[in-house]
Amino acid sequence: MNIWEKEVSALLSKVQQTSPLVHNMTNVVVTNFTANGLYALGASPVMAYAPEEVADMAAIAGAVVLNIGTLNRELVDAMITAGLSANAHGVPLLLDPVGAGATRFRTESAQRILREVKVSLVRGNAAEVAHLVGEAREIKGVDAESSGDIGNAELAVRAARELDTLVVITGKEDVITDGTDVRIITGGHALLTKVTGAGCLLTSVLGAFAAVESNLLLAGTAGLAFYGAAASRAAERTADLGPGSFQNAFLDELSKLHPGSLQGYAAIREAAAA
């Protein structure tokens, strides 16, 4: 086990032992999958949206995850209320800017959230993150279409500095950075792109790790590595069967993660900041 694996493995055990409450304000497509994925990991999910209760729920959560996948004006207002409460109570706040760049409302809503509350970590595909900092990259609905002029690591560093938050860009390889340190995590499987909510669940999984570790660069690295490992393990058993079997196997593998699960299935390396 290398140094990274030791550090991140301790966090997996902490998630499994303490079962942190993750308050999700997510989209209607992925709600059930997100709750089941968090249960499989060992965390406790709750979905709560009412303006009357989101501040109270955020205050008692281990992490709050805002996901704009099926947004409307009232929901974004409620997300700001939850975010302010998370900030006031020292609860890590994560943002998944689903579809930013696809419509002006999505881009502006994500930017509004980033302006009005202190987001601890943003996780998106490369196109979504690019649009948050005013760079155009092709996006089809919620899916990133192509890579842009600059690489994902460079884009993530730029976004982290401009938005003053940790940034995770996912794809074939995942990048996490606080604007200074950059880590690349490999693992996962292309079948994840055929399961809706694979990105959304990941953001909530990062919330579970953020709930147990205040060093969010380390927490995020752990979440990415174990998520990728669970997916590679599931694909090993089901890739020939297709996305339905893979999705179920993936939930099973999330529930079976242990400190040794990374070996041969996910890797973490450091990259130089641009």
Q: Which of 24/81 has CB closer to Mg ion?
A: 24
Is 199 near Mg ion (CB under 5 A)?
yes
Give φ, ψ of 189 to 5 degrees: -160, 150
Backbone angles phi, psi at 83, to 5 degrees: -65, -40
Stretch that binds ligand ATP, among 9-17, 48-56, 82-90, 190-198 (CB under 6 A): 190-198
Minimum separation from the CB atom of position 50 to ligand TZP (A):
20
With beta carbons less than 8 A apart as the criterion, state whether 128 and 98 touch.
yes
Tokens 């900041």, residue?
A: 273
Counting Cα atoms < 13 Å in the Cβ hemisphere of 121 gives 32
Residues 103-162 that bind ligand ATP (CB under 6 A): 125, 142-144
Which one of ligand ATP, ligand TZP, Mg ion, none is in contact with 79 (Cβ closer than 5 to 8 A by kind)? Answer: none
Place of tokens 């996912």: 170
Query: Where does this chain bind ligand TZP (CB under 6 A)?
Result: 27, 29-30, 69-70, 98, 142, 196-200
Hey, which residues between 12 and 71 contact ligand ATP (CB under 6 A)?
Answer: none
171 binds ligand ATP (CB under 6 A): yes
H or E element at residue 107 = helix 104-116
Please choose which of Mg ion, ligand TZP, ligand ATP, none residue 70 contacts, taking the beta carbon within 5 to 8 angstroms, the exact cut-off set by kind: ligand TZP
Element holding 125 (H helix, E strand): strand 121-125
Dihedral sign, Cα of residue 188, residue 184, residue 62, residue 23: negative
Taking the least distance from each CB to ligand ATP, the nearer of 134 and 141 is: 141
Distance (Å, whole) CA 230 – CA 131 = 30
| Shortest distance, position 51 Cβ to ligand ATP, whole Å | 27
Q: What is the CA angle 119-201-43, rounded to 5?
A: 85
In angstroms, the CA 27 to CA 204 distance is 12
Q: How many chain residues interact with ligand ATP (CB under 6 A)?
A: 18
Which residues in 96-125 contact Mg ion (CB under 5 A)? 98
Report what 245 binds from ligand ATP, ligand TZP, Mg ion, none; CB cut-off 5-8 Å by kind. Answer: none
Q: Which residues bind ligand ATP (CB under 6 A)?
A: 125, 142-144, 170-172, 174, 188-190, 192-193, 198-199, 202, 227-228
